Amino acid sequence: RTQHTTGKKASTMPRKRKKHNNIKGKVSQRCGPKGAAQIVEGVYISGEYFARDEGRLRSIGVASVVACGCRAHHPDQFRYLEIRLSDKASSDASPHLNRAADFIAQSLCHGNVLVHCKAGISRSATMIAAYLLKYHHEDLAQTVDDALAVIRRSRPCVNPRPEFIEALSSFSDQISWLDERCQVNSKNGGDKDRDAARGSLMNASGQEDHQDFSDF
């Protein structure tokens, strides 16, 4: 019994360390600095390390890049949207959400889109969540929690700072309100007219002006 107890104590710590390392290894495959994860069809997330490598971008069919708080590394090779946003409590993500969502949606006709920040955890996830809330509001992301759950299925480490989540919540509330209003204005117009109405109403509601990125 003494040997068993002693052996048990001696083996407890190694087993715990091994388990921790295994979990870390599994997560790092999807959250490590060298990798990118596909969130929905055509939309990828990564850190800056991956975004620097032109070959890696081409290997996953990227044609457009949203760079959050990072410079455009290959402006002559890919279409870029540079978002000047620091990962600080004082930073306001609100002015960028609608623009990022529209850029992602319109860029998909050219190929896949990579959204990245420094680590691929906070700012990039916030912009993808905005895209999901605006363009997949009915099928995937009716709430901010829904949007983040979709992202975390592919990249479990994403963790937008509280201030960004608050901005997303306001963005989501606005989209829900606009959808209700658009239903009245476009009962017979179908989804296309409803989406057009949503875009014009969002501009009128104080969001950053809608931009056409087709020639960006």
> 89: burial class by Cβ within 10 Å (0-12, 13-18, 19+)?
exposed
What amino acid positions are annotated as catalytic residues? 117
d(CA 130, CA 135): 8
Nearest to 107 by CA among 172, 58, 62, 47: 62
d(CA 142, CA 136): 8
Could you tell me how far CA 48 lies from the centroid of its own chain?
Answer: 14
Cβ within 8 Å of residue 143, ≥6 positions away: 172
Task: Tokens for 196, please give them.
Answer: 């057009």
Q: How many helices (H) and strands (E) does the chain have?
A: 8, 5
β-pairing, 43-46 with 62-68? unpaired
Nearest to 136 by CA among 79, 75, 179: 179
